[in-house]
């Protein structure tokens, strides 16, 4: 899989005491896409952090960035700058520790019912700490022994995935990964999620109304990317997703797939969105799509297994 080249000699933006650790973000070049608005590009400054990669998601998709983190077993911080408060993903050795933001309205506007027995003053103090430092308030509550660490970890996963799912349909996102092991000093006891590919798929399932490209045509034909067929076999698909993936043969249109599976077009587009975002498939115009192979998913699976023997 393609992995971006490290950014050479990147200077950095000073972080705001993220998790009480000294963190900084690199000096930013302008994105290649001229239409990228200035508000999603971070301010410039000086520092010593190592920016491993950065770019606009129109050129460097989120799924590719997350695959790079997992494949290279990176440790540090993925920052996503968009129209709202930046979203930050902490990774350790290629595992996702948690996702957070300083905006509580984005992260968790209402205190969950599971915290009903926790002192409201303590909860509000922890939420204020998140507004200031970005530390998830669930983790702060665990630090004060108001809730168990296991419970805090599950809540951070739930709300972190929902938060990250907002980025999939955001029109303008600028991302940067900062290699900085120091960020892990205060979260050594928080377990990471080793299965990044399924973590990513779970965030895509949370996108209720995916925005399709203006040029999207139901007659377009989904076809596996170069490594898409191999990667889809490693995903924990739902029954609906597996059936949908079994229809990709380089000849069937989205409309035909929906008809075969008795799906309404909205549901078909929602499923297709996940595979497109993961770069499992790409869509070709129905009139020009190459159709050399009319093999089913299971025919290709048998061929792949025979090749591996």
- The pair of structure tokens assigned to 56 is 């606009």
Helix (H, G, I), strand (E, B), or coil: what is residue 181? Answer: helix
pLDDT on residue 26: 36
Summarised one tens digit per residue, pLDDT across range 164-175 is 999 999 988 999
Grade residue 144 by pLDDT with cuts at 50, 70 and 90. very high
Cα separation, 70 vs 87, in Å, equals 19
Cα separation, 261 vs 282, in Å, equals 20
Helix-strand-coil split of the chain, %, nearest 5: 40, 15, 45
H or E element in which residue 91 lies: strand 87-92
Helix (H, G, I), strand (E, B), or coil: what is residue 120? Answer: helix
> Is 2's pLDDT higher than 60?
no
> Is 284's pLDDT higher than 50?
yes
For the segment 237-241, the average pLDDT, to the nearest whole number, is 97
- For helices 196-205 and 265-277, angle between their N-to-C axes, nearest 10 degrees: 150
- Candidates 132, 157, 296; CA nearest to 229 is 296
> Is 196's pLDDT higher than 70?
yes
18-49 b/e (C-beta count within 10 Å ≥ 16 → b): bbebebbbbbbeebeeeebeeebbbeeeebeb
Q: What is the dihedral of CA 7, 13, 16, 19, to 10 degrees?
A: 20
Alpha-helix runs per DSSP H in the chain: 62-71, 104-107, 120-133, 137-143, 149-165, 196-205, 228-232, 239-245, 254-260, 265-277, 297-308
């Amino acid at each position: 899989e393609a992995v971006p080249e490290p950014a050479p000699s990147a200077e950095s933006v000073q972080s705001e005491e993220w998790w009480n650790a000294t963190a900084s973000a690199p000096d930013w070049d302008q994105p290649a896409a001229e239409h990228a608005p200035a508000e999603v590009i971070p301010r410039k400054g000086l520092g010593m952090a190592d920016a491993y990669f950065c770019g606009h998601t129109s050129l460097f998709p989120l799924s590719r960035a997350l695959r790079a983190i997992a494949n290279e077993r990176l440790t540090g911080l993925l920052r996503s700058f968009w129209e709202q408060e930046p979203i930050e993903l902490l990774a350790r050795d290629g595992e996702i520790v948690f996702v957070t933001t300083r905006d509580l309205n984005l992260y968790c506007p209402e205190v969950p019912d599971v915290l009903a027995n926790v002192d409201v003053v303590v909860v509000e103090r922890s939420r204020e700490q998140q507004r200031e430092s970005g530390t998830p308030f669930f983790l702060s509550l665990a630090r004060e022994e108001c809730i168990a660490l296991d419970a805090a970890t599950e809540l951070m996963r739930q709300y972190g995935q929902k938060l990250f799912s907002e980025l999939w349909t955001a029109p303008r996102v600028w991302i940067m990964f900062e290699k900085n092991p120091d960020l892990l000093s205060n979260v050594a006891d928080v377990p990471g999620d080793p299965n990044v590919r399924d973590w990513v798929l779970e965030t895509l399932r949370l996108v209720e109304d995916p925005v399709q490209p203006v040029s999207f045509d139901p007659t377009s034909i989904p076809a596996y990317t170069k490594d898409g067929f191999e990667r889809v076999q490693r995903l924990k698909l739902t029954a609906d997703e597996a059936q949908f993936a079994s229809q990709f043969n380089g000849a069937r249109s989205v409309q035909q797939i929906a008809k075969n599976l008795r799906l309404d077009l909205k549901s078909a587009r929602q499923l297709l969105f996940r595979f497109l975002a993961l770069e499992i498939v790409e869509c070709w115009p129905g009139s020009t799509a190459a159709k050399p192979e009319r093999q089913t998913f299971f025919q290709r699976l048998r061929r792949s297994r025979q090749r591996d023997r």
